[in-house]
Structure 1
Amino acid sequence: MSEISISIPSLSENIRIVESFIDNAKERFSLDDDIYGNIMIAVTESVNNAIIHGNDGNKDKNVYLSLNMEENTITFNISDEGQGFDYNSLPDPTAPENIDKPGGRGIFLMKALSDELSFEQEGKTVKLSFYIS
């Protein structure tokens, strides 16, 4: 098992650091383009949520990103220093009353693109797993 981790201040321009982190993982673990694309969208979405919602865009708070590669699964953990949130009471972005609302699509997207999605520490940590063939 190998683990790699970084921490970044909560600034949206730091998303490019996350993109480089994922590019390096693609090279290191020879990820195919489909999985790479899903990882890129889901993980950057999660980090964005951590910066904006978790840490309220406070540059003095960090977002922590790590990846674990174990057998046929690559797992990303994204943590923030915020208060957490109730992930069980999120509105369904596909429900008719929510279609025109801008928020709520991120987690829906993350769930659709990853093979496993879970929240830990009252929602302060998101765990995204992808199965590698």
Structure 2
Amino acid sequence: MNDISINIPSLAENIRIVESFIDNAKEELSLNDDIYGNIMIAITESVNNAIIHGNQGDKNKNVELSLSVENNVLVFFVEDQGNGFDYNSLPDPTAPENIDKPGGRGIFLMKALSDELEFQNEGKTIKLSFYLD
């Protein structure tokens, strides 16, 4: 499978494009249901964050989603056109004062569901890796 990427205008309804992209990868790579479920949640969450927080819902800004396979590792990059953020000072969603807050779990979820999570480009790019074996 070659590297593939798509650009998605920052509209919440475009999450369905992301879901199709992941469904195609599942078919192409014969992913099992466990890894597929983890990828679907982590990547849609990441793109959602890029749309809402990164690009501030500006439909004139795109989110780029790309996928490659390197040495049995499925690697996704999600990049927005926002200003980035300080990913080292995120509140802990499991802390008592944050338990009842509706947001703040996205990155926590992405870390839990992916095998590796890395921020790049001042937080404008997120790299999520999933081991295939």
Contact 1:50-1:80 within 8 A present in 2 as well: yes
Aligned equivalents of 1:101 and 1:50: distance in 2? 20
Q: Which runs of 5+ in 2 are unaligned?
A: none
User: Is 1:79 matched with 2:75?
Assistant: no
Mark the runs of 5 or more structure 1 residues left unpaired by the alignment.
none
Q: Distance in 2 between matches of 1:100 and 1:91?
A: 13
Note the alpha carbon deviations across 1:13-60, whole angstroms, 9 max, x for none.
Answer: 000000000000000011110000000000000000000000000000
Amino acid at match of 2:9: P
Distance 1:13 1:65 in 2: 15
Matches within 5 A, 1:20-59: 20-59=20-59
* In structure 2, C-alpha distance between the alignment counterparts of 1:104 and 1:8, rounded to whole Å: 23
- Sequence identity percentage: 78
Runs of 4+ in 1 over 4 A off after TM superposition: none
Output the CA distance in 2 between the equivalents of 1:73 and 1:8.
24
Equivalent pair of 1:2/1:70 in contact (CA under 8 Å): no
Count of residue correspondences: 133
Normalising by structure 2, we get a TM-score of 0.98
Structure-1 separation of matches of 2:102 and 2:79: 23
